Amino acid sequence: MFNPHASMQVVNFDERHFCLVVDDALLEPERLVQFAAARREGFRPVDFSVYPGIYLTAPADVANGLNELFRQRVRRRFDARRCVRWDIRFSLVTLQPQDLRPHQWLCHVDDVGLDPRLSMQASVLYLFKDEGQGGTSFYAPIRSDAEIAMLFKDAKSLSCQAFAQQYGISAGYMHEANDYFGRIGSISAKWNRLIFYDGGVLHSGDIAAPEKLSNDPVAGRLTLNGFFTCRRNAA
């Protein structure tokens, strides 16, 4: 299923942060789109993270294939030893800007609350051909830790109007820098492109054209998302 001859390149954002990019990741990417489309009624709203859309659990062969690729070619490039858990699912961004909550107006990390003895790596496989539906951008804070912590706290507790008024951040998807975060890098979407990154790096989908979003796996921003929780390397 995954292309054993696919090339992998490293895209460095700064001294610490980078992304691995694998083009032509699948041998037959259309098959995954067809699988998701045939099960469109099985997609459910995401209620366990900030993801602004719906998801479908990936079948075992797809999950095992992506995990094996991570184990053989990716894991050693990160602070990761044995993988203790992986979660792999199809995802579709579906919410319009006016339907987002303030915490969805911001970039985020994937490893919130993770045991410090563990690390999390994440992956996104773009399964749509309209590159205007957006890739992924990565960010770093430009304010103090205390200010950033308060920003995230208020994003979860304040109303949309109160948050926008207090922080000067408008409702909508984040796809460029603001007064709190600078963009350190961006990976454009490309059909059958797979990226891997540290789940502790701030990031957000580049949803610059929300009018293109759809809950149809064939027409929408369909991705296969992977999250790999591993024990950190020995000190």
Confidence check: pLDDT of 9 > 90:
yes
Q: Which CATH class name applies to 8-99+108-141+181-231?
A: mainly beta
- Domain range list for the chain: 8-99+108-141+181-231
Confidence check: pLDDT of 234 > 90:
no
The reported pLDDT for the residue numbered 123 is 98
For all residues of the chain together, what is the average pLDDT? 96
Tokens 């957000």, residue located:
204
Q: Which of 38, 42, 34, 10 minimizes the C-alpha distance to 195? A: 10
The reported pLDDT for the residue numbered 235 is 74
**Whole-angstrom distance, CA of residue 138 vs CA of residue 19:** 9
**Whole-angstrom distance, CA of residue 37 vs CA of residue 16:** 38
**Count of beta carbons in the 10 Å neighbourhood of residue 114:** 14
**Count of beta carbons in the 10 Å neighbourhood of residue 10:** 9
Average pLDDT over residues 7-24: 95
**Whole-angstrom distance, CA of residue 78 vs CA of residue 50:** 24
- Could you report the per-residue pLDDT of 29-78, keeping only the tens digit for each? 999 999 999 999 999 999 989 999 999 999 999 999 999 999 999 999 99
Give the distance between the most distant pair of CA atoms in the chain: 51
Confidence check: pLDDT of 90 > 90:
yes
Share above pLDDT 90 across residues of the chain, in percent, rounded to a whole number: 97
**Whole-angstrom distance, CA of residue 164 vs CA of residue 154:** 10
Average pLDDT over residues 87-95: 98
